[in-house]
Amino acid sequence: MSSLSARPASDVAASRPWRGLALAAFLVLPLAATGCSGMSETQQRTLSGGAIGAGVGTVGTVITGGCVACGAAVGGAVGAGVGYLSDKLDMDN
């Protein structure tokens, strides 16, 4: 008798929720990377700060068990603000 058991496809998909996210990131990231070519340095820093902040906010709320959408929104806003301000402070120096 084999130790392998056949699991329904719905059980397999439910046990790997990250696969859909990984596929979406794989398809979207090349498009996102080429979309910044015509932006100013301030716009690029603001956008990248917002993206990094949204990622950190999402991961932080997943770990702590909070509202994931709220964490992403707050993190994105804070990150965009930091990216914008860091560019303005670099321009002054």
Domain of 25, in residue numbers: 9-92
The domain tally of the chain equals: 1
- Find tokens 């596929």 and name the residue: 23
Tell me the residue type at 6: A
Q: What is the pLDDT of residue 81?
A: 94
pLDDT score of 35 more than 80:
no
Global pTM value: 0.61
pLDDT confidence of residue 50: 92
Separation between Cα atoms, residue 59 and residue 37, nearest integer Å: 28
Q: How confident is the model at residue 66 (pLDDT cuts 50, 70, 90)?
A: confident
* Spatial distance between the Cα atoms of 49 and 54, rounded to a whole number of angstroms: 8
What the block records as the tokens of 5 is 């058991």
Task: Tell me if 4 is assigned to some domain.
Answer: no
Residue 71 falls inside a structural domain? yes
Eight-class DSSP state of 40: -
Q: Is residue 1 part of a domain?
A: no
